[in-house]
Amino acid sequence: MKINIGSINTVKVGAVSEIIQDYPHLSDAVLRELQTDSGVSVQPKSLEETIQGAMNRAKNVFDDCGKEFHIGLSSAWEFPDKKITELMIKEGLDMSEAINRAGLTDNPQIGSEEGAIGILTKGRLTRKDYTKQALRTALIHLEQFDF
């Protein structure tokens, strides 16, 4: 089995790699990382835009065969400082750029590492953790149930 990942972000790829080990029918899959366009803003501003971007990435990495989608979501959170949200909305910065500008970090690659959530929770929850949570909830549809 092959699994195409519509991202080359190391956190997202790592999350997929770890999650599939918990699913016997996926654990031997070969992963392929692909840079693809989401068709939405670099920093989505709504849940609808986030889901649309994920679906677009999935479609783009599977040519004509991406016909079935299973949505998975992770926990949501709000920045404790409105300045960061304003930088994203008013200036069009992505989250990494906004937290750098606000002085929360000076790491330009934060989105490929612990993420803003890792900083805000002091490492108690990382970007990989909540990416894995979203993957697990999407994979519910692939579980076998006797209803």
Domain chopping of the chain, boundaries: 1-71+129-147, 76-124
Distance CA 110, CA 97 (A): 9
Q: Give me the amino acid identity at 68.
A: E
Dihedrals φ, ψ of 51, to 5°?
-65, -45
Distance CA 37, CA 82 (A): 29
Q: How far is CA 21 from CA 14, 17, 70, 124, 140, in A?
A: 11, 7, 19, 23, 15
Distance CA 130, CA 94 (A): 18
CB 20 within 8 A of CB 3: yes
Environment class of residue 72 by beta-carbon count within 10 Å: exposed (0-12), middle (13-18) or buried (19+)?
middle
pLDDT in tens, the chain (147 residues): 899 999 999 999 999 999 999 999 999 999 999 999 999 998 898 999 999 999 999 899 987 667 778 899 999 898 898 999 999 999 999 999 999 999 999 999 999 999 999 999 999 999 999 999 999 999 998 887 767
Whole-model pTM above 0.85? yes
Q: What is the pLDDT of residue 64?
A: 65
Domain 1-71+129-147 belongs in CATH node 3.90.1150.10: no
Distance, first Cα to last Cα, the chain: 27
- Token digits for 52? 């649309």
Distance CA 59, CA 82 (A): 34
Distance CA 15, CA 5 (A): 11
